[in-house]
C-alpha cells in the first residue's frame, strides 16, 4: 500500500506539472503559472517524503539488520544530482537550435555548473558522513553493510565512485572555463549521469551478491527497457513543446538580462 502511495505521488506531480506546463504555452492562459507555483512548493515536500520512505521500504529493507537515518537524504541527493546532470546534458544539445542558441550564454552554463558542483559536494558529504559515523561506532550490526561493499570487486567499484563520481568532477567543476564551456560541462554532466547509475547499482546489488560483482543480462535489459521507455516519452514531449515558455511572465526578465550581458 505504501508503494502505491509513493508512485501515486510521483505520477500525480508529474502529470499535473506536465499538464499545466503545456497550458502555460497557450496564449492568454494566465492561471497555469500560478498553478505550477502553487503545486511545486508542497510538491517538493511530498516528493522528498515519498523518496525517503521508499528508500527505506524498497532498498534499505533488503538488508533488514542494517539501518541509517541519513539514507533517505542520500537517495534524494542521488536523484537531484542525476537530474541536474541530465538537464545540463540536454540543454547543451538544444543550444544548437533556435531560439536557445541566442540566449544560452556562457554565464548561464556557469550557473548550471555551480548547481552541479553543489550536488556533487553534497553527495560526497552525505556519503562520507554516513561512513564516518558507522566506522567510529564500530558496531557489528552497522558495519556489515560496508563490509559487503568495501572488499573485492565491490571495493574496487567503491574506489571508482570516489575518484570518478567525486574527486575528478569536483576538480573539473572548480574551473570557471569548464563551467562556461557548454561542451566541456556537458561531458562532465553526461559522465555523472552514467556514474549515478553505477552508484545506485553499488547501493542495491551487494544485498543479493555479497561475495562480489557479477553482471547479468537482466542488469542491462531492465535499464534499457525502463530507461528507453522514459527517454522515448521525454523526447516525444520535447518535440511537441516550444523550447522557451513564451507566455511566462518572467521570460522578459531573462531576455533583458541576456541583452545586458551581450552589451557588456
pLDDT tens per residue, range 192-234: 999 999 999 999 999 999 888 888 888 889 899 999 999 999 9
Report if residue 50 sits inside a domain: no
High-pLDDT (> 70) share of the chain, %: 95
Report if residue 251 sits inside a domain: yes
Stretch 51-58: mean pLDDT: 95
Which pLDDT band, with edges at 50, 70 and 90, does 116 fall under? Answer: very high
C-alpha 26, offset from chain centre: 29
Asked if residue 187 and residue 98 are part of one domain, the reply reads yes
Asked if residue 229 and residue 164 are part of one domain, the reply reads no
Residue 148 has pLDDT above 80, yes or no: yes
By the 8 A CB rule, do 234 and 86 touch?
no
Residue 157 has pLDDT above 80, yes or no: yes
Which pLDDT band, with edges at 50, 70 and 90, does 138 fall under? Answer: confident
Report if residue 12 sits inside a domain: no
pLDDT given for residue 5 in this prediction: 96
pLDDT given for residue 246 in this prediction: 72
Report if residue 41 sits inside a domain: no
- Number of structural domains the chain divides into: 2
> What would the pLDDT profile of 86-100 be if each residue is shown by its tens digit?
999 998 888 877 777
Locate 121 and state its grid cell: 559536494
Asked if residue 243 and residue 229 are part of one domain, the reply reads yes
pLDDT given for residue 255 in this prediction: 66
Locate 198 and state its grid cell: 553505477
Instruction: Give the residue carrying C-alpha cell 506546463.
Output: 21
Stretch 19-37: mean pLDDT: 83
Whole-structure pTM over 0.95, yes or no? no
Report if residue 9 sits inside a domain: no
Stretch 140-163: mean pLDDT: 91
Asked if residue 121 and residue 227 are part of one domain, the reply reads no
Please give the backbone phi and psi of residue 143, each rounded to the nearest 5 degrees, phi first. Answer: -80, -10
Report if residue 25 sits inside a domain: no
Which pLDDT band, with edges at 50, 70 and 90, does 187 fall under? Answer: very high
pLDDT given for residue 259 in this prediction: 53
Asked if residue 193 and residue 81 are part of one domain, the reply reads yes
Asked if residue 229 and residue 206 are part of one domain, the reply reads no
Residue 103 has pLDDT above 50, yes or no: yes
Report if residue 39 sits inside a domain: no
Asked if residue 203 and residue 78 are part of one domain, the reply reads yes
Q: Poorest-confidence range of 28-32, 42-46, 169-173, 252-256?
A: 252-256
Which pLDDT band, with edges at 50, 70 and 90, does 33 fall under? Answer: confident
Stretch 156-182: mean pLDDT: 95
Instruction: Give the residue carrying C-alpha cell 556519503.
Output: 127
End-to-end Cα, the chain, rounded Å: 57
Asked if residue 244 and residue 210 are part of one domain, the reply reads no
Q: What is the mean pLDDT of the chain?
A: 89
Asked if residue 261 and residue 188 are part of one domain, the reply reads no
By the 8 A CB rule, do 221 and 69 touch?
no
Report if residue 77 sits inside a domain: yes
Triad 146, 152, 158: Cα angle to 5° = 55
Residue 151 has pLDDT above 90, yes or no: no
Stretch 125-135: mean pLDDT: 93
pLDDT given for residue 206 in this prediction: 93
Q: Where in the sequence is the domain holding 241, given as residue range(s)?
A: 218-264
Asked if residue 143 and residue 204 are part of one domain, the reply reads yes
Asked if residue 89 and residue 111 are part of one domain, the reply reads yes
Asked if residue 239 and residue 178 are part of one domain, the reply reads no
CB-CB neighbours of 257 under 10 Å: 14
Amino acid at each position: 500500500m505504501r508503494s502505491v502511495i509513493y508512485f501515486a505521488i510521483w505520477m500525480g506531480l508529474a502529470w499535473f506539472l506536465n499538464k499545466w506546463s503545456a497550458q502555460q504555452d497557450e496564449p492568454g492562459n494566465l492561471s497555469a503559472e500560478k498553478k505550477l507555483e502553487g503545486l511545486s512548493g508542497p510538491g517538493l515536500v511530498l516528493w522528498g517524503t515519498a523518496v525517503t520512505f521508499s528508500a527505506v521500504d524498497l532498498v534499505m529493507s533488503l538488508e533488514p539488520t542494517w539501518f541509517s537515518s541519513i539514507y533517505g537524504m542520500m537517495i534524494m541527493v542521488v536523484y537531484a544530482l542525476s537530474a541536474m546532470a541530465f538537464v545540463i546534458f540536454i540543454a547543451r544539445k538544444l543550444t544548437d537550435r533556435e531560439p536557445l542558441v541566442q540566449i544560452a550564454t556562457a554565464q548561464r552554463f556557469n550557473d548550471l555548473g555551480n548547481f552541479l558542483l553543489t550536488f556533487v559536494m553534497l553527495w560526497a558529504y552525505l556519503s562520507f558522513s554516513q561512513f564516518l559515523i558507522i566506522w567510529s561506532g564500530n558496531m557489528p550490526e552497522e558495519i556489515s553493510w560496508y563490509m559487503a561493499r568495501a572488499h573485492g570487486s565491490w571495493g574496487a567499484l567503491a574506489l571508482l565512485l570516489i575518484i570518478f563520481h567525486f574527486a575528478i568532477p569536483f576538480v573539473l567543476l572548480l574551473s570557471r572555463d569548464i563551467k562556461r564551456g557548454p561542451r566541456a560541462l556537458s561531458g562532465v554532466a553526461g559522465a555523472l549521469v552514467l556514474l549515478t547509475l553505477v552508484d545506485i547499482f553499488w547501493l542495491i546489488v551487494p544485498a543479493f551478491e555479497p561475495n562480489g560483482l557479477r553482471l547479468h543480462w537482466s542488469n542491462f535489459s531492465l535499464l534499457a527497457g525502463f530507461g528507453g521507455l522514459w527517454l522515448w516519452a521525454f523526447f516525444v514531449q520535447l518535440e511537441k513543446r516550444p523550447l522557451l515558455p513564451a507566455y511566462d511572465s518572467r521570460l522578459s526578465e531573462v531576455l533583458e538580462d541576456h541583452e545586458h550581458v551581450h552589451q557588456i
